[in-house]
């Protein structure tokens, strides 16, 4: 008798469980909708992808790329949560360690604190630059990579930018133009 009830319960519950699993979203999930603060074109860059890495919009990346005057791929990452704010310097150390562990032979070129400005406010930001070998635009290249990391309200913002090593001097000013052209101060909605 108990075995029959269990079997009936399984026969009813199994299709429901399978249907629920089939509708579950897999992350990262590419977001196809428009976001006003991240226009399709900004400062010579074209937006190419927006990904959510978890439910909601608390962990998102926005990718931009340009071909001219120099090829640059720049991705902004937004991590929301009050737990991050007290440990921004520690998180910056982890971000640098990720680069150093991910790319054999990564050489840190510089590290400093800079000030970003937006909407009449100033945002202290950590900045580090690197040079390493990687695939860039489908080809093995010596690349220049810039990491910027700062907080806005209750979230972190990170910019990772990559250009060919020979174009590194032009990449940082172009990244600032991109940051000037988009509104990274508002949460992604």
Element housing 58 (H / E)? none
Average pLDDT estimate for 15-19: 35
DSSP state of 86: G
User: What confidence category does residue 6 fall into, taking pLDDT thresholds of 50, 70 and 90?
Assistant: very low
Determine the structural domain holding residue 170 and report its residue range. 26-181
pLDDT computed for residue 28 by the predictor: 86
- Note whether residue 21 is domain-resident: no
Hey, how many other C-beta atoms are within 10 angstroms of the C-beta on 107?
Answer: 10
- Note whether residue 12 is domain-resident: no
| pLDDT at residue 22 greater than cutoff 90 | no
pTM for this entry = 0.82
Give the count of domains, the chain.
1
| Phi and psi torsions of 102, nearest 5° | -80, -25
- The residue length of the chain stands at 189
Q: What is the pLDDT of residues 62-115, one digit of tens each?
A: 999 999 999 999 999 988 765 555 578 888 998 999 999 999 999 999 999 999
- Note whether residue 188 is domain-resident: no
> In this structure, what CATH number is given to the domain that contains residue 167?
3.40.1000.10
- Note whether residue 4 is domain-resident: no
Average pLDDT estimate for 127-147: 95
């Amino acid at each position: 008798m108990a075995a029959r009830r269990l079997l009936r319960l399984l026969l009813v519950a199994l299709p429901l469980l399978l249907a629920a699993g089939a509708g579950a979203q897999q992350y990262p999930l590419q977001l196809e909708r428009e976001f006003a603060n991240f226009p399709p074109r900004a400062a010579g860059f074209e937006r190419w992808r927006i990904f959510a890495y978890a439910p909601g919009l608390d962990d998102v990346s926005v990718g931009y790329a340009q071909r001219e005057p120099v090829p640059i791929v720049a991705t902004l990452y937004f991590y929301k949560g009050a737990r991050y704010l007290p440990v921004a310097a520690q998180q910056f150390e982890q971000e640098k360690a990720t680069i150093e562990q991910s790319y054999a032979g990564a050489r840190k070129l510089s590290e400093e604190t800079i000030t970003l400005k937006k909407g009449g406010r100033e945002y202290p930001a950590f900045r580090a630059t690197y040079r390493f070998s990687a695939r860039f635009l489908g080809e093995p290249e010596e690349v220049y990579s810039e990491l910027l990391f700062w907080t806005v309200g209750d979230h972190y913002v990170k910019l990772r930018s990559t250009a060919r090593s020979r174009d590194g001097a032009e990449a940082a000013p172009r990244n600032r133009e991109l940051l000037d052209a988009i509104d990274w101060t508002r949460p992604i909605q």
